[in-house]
Amino acid sequence: MATRPNSLFIASKSAVLLFLTCSMGLLACAEERPGKTGQEGTRSIPRERTLVTHCSDINTCGGQIVDYNTFNPFLLGSSSRTGAHFLYEPLYFYSAYDEDDQLIPWIATGHEYNQDFTQVTVHIRPGVTWSDGTPWTAADLAYTVAALKENAPELFLSTDMETWVERVEVEDELTARFVLKQPNPRFVFNYLTNCFFNGIVVVPKHIWEGEDPKTFENCCGEGQPVVSGPYRLSLSVPQQRILTRRDDWWAAAIGFHALPEVEQLIFLPYMDEAKRVQALISNDIDISLDLRPPNIKTALDENANIVSWTGEVPPYGYVDWWPVNLGFNNLEEPFRDAQIRHAINHAIDRDELIAVGWQGAGKANFLPFPNFPALQQYLDEVAPLVEKYSVATYDTARTAAIMRAKGWRRDEEGFWARDGARFKIPIDIGTVHQDLAPVLVAQLRRAGFNASHRMTADGITRMAQGTARAFMMGSVGSIRDPYFTLNFFHSRYVQPTGTHSERYWRWRNAEFDQLVDRMGRTPPDDPKLVELFRAAMDIWLRELPAIPLVQWYHRIPHNQTYWTNWPSEENPYINSAYWHKTWLLVLLGIKAAR
């Protein structure tokens, strides 16, 4: 195949992507072949108006984009975040890094609760339309919630909709009333607001009605997929997905927001860190999945146009809502025993994890929460409980005492064994844990556990099904108050081993459930919330269903060769994770460099 000098193209016979910088523009060529999708094709758009990145998920994009022929935002663990996560716009946005600490009205103009928080009325912005010109109405909102309820627990946030929502009443095209099963003063923030990866996805009723949302591909015929955001799918093949700006976006049409300066987005398949760094240094991509400290430092040193959230100084990123834990399938032996989990906890030296795994660029964590400023008052309240249950104590002598009391003895090689079987801890990890996992495994082995780690494309599936007995995973949820994180440890999410679960912890405690339910009904400004939280955390820390390890940092490199005004510590208008549902705000915020 003849190539244009310094161009990006697909060599279809070898399915090899070549990335070269181009003054003439960025070209995507794909020979017609079975499996190619994209209803309108591509048009020539200059490189300086194109943003290039890679898919963040190895399980859906390792080697190629597995779901290139689908655009279903509801599927758990099998949908790549290459457009469907941000092109269905929310009622509200929220930034955890903006000092204003306010919801950002988007498709909604406002809402109000009734006195006891059992109903909430939402007002929809006039003039919002889907990409096919159909008005965005309350009927779309009502349809989506009903579809989630009918398909719980198989769709994202479907269990929550079934738990909380009795029905959604359509008062008129621009007014919807949620009738809740019990009081929930956080309902709008928790479910109707895009923040990090949270928030329900509202889809067009006239497209989805009559389809099975568990299997509907929503791609890629004439005009598909129908979305509300400012881009259309113009090409989707295993080697890349291209989104092109549509200038008839409703927000520009009614004067709500200007069009993004980014005219085209290209998502490439997942890249390992070495390839990411090289592609950043050579200006072939503009942003990537977060990097480990040595790698982002290399990118910063080798390309003066690359910046991080904190500039050129550690930790090179912002605290994410995803503090990392060592989690377990708590339904299965030996991990269902809380004392065993404490024994494992005492074998972990978090300071060493950070010093060796992250070269000192991080912070230890002893609670399942990010240390956001709004949460600090709650974290301070339970600090005495961390001490009470010795969660912050690294002491292998305590580990040994617990293990011996449980009938385990060291074998000839120093591993804990009982009834002829060693205590194994096979830890499933994601690619982002490759630096911490070997250090963690070495610590556990020193303490007598036959630990190992594995990173495979189906790791998330195993966690969801419970066949992963131990794993490294973030405990997402809380941003402004502690309810939402604790909610994800509620037994309502527990599924038997072998059955897909929305949340992976598989832990049951009836008293904890009752306290969390009461927290959910208590307004954030009610002093009773602190009391309930303290009681719930007393149980959580005593039982320790997951072992908090470290605060998680998104060390995301921002390449300023083609795009400027990236979010930063000095300009924290939103977090810059392009796999989160707030990515649209980044696209609307960055500016062309030339």
Domain ranges of the chain: 92-202, 321-551
pTM score, whole prediction: 0.87
Instruction: Give the dihedral sign, CA 464/468/473/475.
Output: positive
> How is domain 92-202 classified at the architecture level of CATH?
Alpha-Beta Complex (3.90)
Helix/strand/coil for 428? strand
Q: Which residues contact 509 (CB under 8 A, 6 or more apart)?
A: 491, 539, 543
- For 321-551, CATH gives 3.10.105.10
Helix/strand/coil for 108? strand
Consecutive H or E run containing 574: none
What gap in Å lies between CA 262 and CA 564, rounded to an integer?
A: 11
Give me the tens of pLDDT residue by residue for the chain, a chain 594 residues long. 332 223 322 323 233 333 333 322 333 433 333 334 444 556 789 999 999 999 998 889 999 999 999 999 998 777 899 999 999 999 999 999 987 778 999 999 999 999 999 999 999 999 999 999 999 999 999 999 999 999 999 999 999 999 999 999 999 999 999 999 999 999 999 999 999 999 999 999 999 999 999 999 999 888 999 999 999 999 999 999 999 999 999 999 999 999 999 999 999 999 999 999 999 999 999 999 999 999 999 999 999 999 999 999 999 999 999 999 999 999 999 999 999 999 999 999 999 999 999 999 899 999 999 999 889 999 999 999 999 999 999 999 999 999 999 999 999 999 999 999 999 999 999 989 999 999 999 999 999 999 999 999 889 999 999 999 999 999 988 999 999 999 999 999 999 999 999 899 999 999 999 999 999 999 999 999 999 999 999 999 999 999 999 999 999 999 999 999 999 999 999 999 999 999 999 999 999 998
**Which value, in Å, is the radius of gyration of the alpha carbons in the chain?**
24
Which tokens is 152 given? 């719980």
